[in-house]
A = this chain, B = another copy of it.
Amino acid sequence: MLPSSYDSQVCSIARALELVGERWTLLIIRDVFLGVRRFEDLQRDLGIARNVLASRLDKLTADGILERRQYSEHPPRDEFLLTQQGLDLWPTVVALMQWGDQHRPSPHGPPTVLEHKGCGGAVSAHRICERCGAELGARDVAAVPGPGAPPNHPLLAKAG
């Protein structure tokens, strides 16, 4: 819980952070964007305690950012998909990624690279394709493993 004084903040940023301002929350959302949708896969990729992950997923579902879908009946198993509200967090995720790439680069280069699907152009700081000039949304862009991708990168794990 945030301190009650926080509630007095009439600010769109404050209201957004009420929902996604906790670090694990944005890393869960990042993973779902990368296609990691199942509890076991999220738990393995994030290395997060199961009860913490379950509580964050419950909250994200209650807040309308993720939705739960059963992918197996026997045994009952759910996966998590982004709602439209969740998809609309894509600019925030991209902005954080670009900041990290620039100011806290990993030694072997970016772990993940974004490119305009079909076109292959890079994604600018304004989320514009550097090749064709299109304004890009979440569904127009593919995330691919970059030069700094570790062996357990979610995109490599998925392919493997």
Contacts and interface: CB of A to CB of B under 8 A. Distances in A.
Given A26-B21, A103-B88, A125-B91, A150 B111 contact: no
A35 to B, nearest CB: 15
A119 B127 CA distance: 22
Nearest to A91: B95
A148 interface: yes
A70 interface: no
Q: How large is the interface on A (under 10, 10 to 19, 20 to 34, 35 or more residues)?
A: 35 or more
Contacts of A78: none
A62 interface: no
Contact of A17 (B2, B19, B27): B27
Task: Quickly give the copy total for this chain.
Answer: 2
Contacts of A149: 10
A16 B96 contact: yes
A114 B62 CA distance: 31
A8 to B, nearest CB: 6
Interface in A76-107: 85, 88-89, 91-106
A48 interface: yes
Contacts of A12: 96-101, 104-106, 110-112
Contacts of A55: none
Contacts of A46: 5, 9
A69 interface: no
A96 B127 CA distance: 15
Given A5-B47, A23-B22, A13 B88 contact: no
Contacts of A27: 9, 11, 13-14, 17
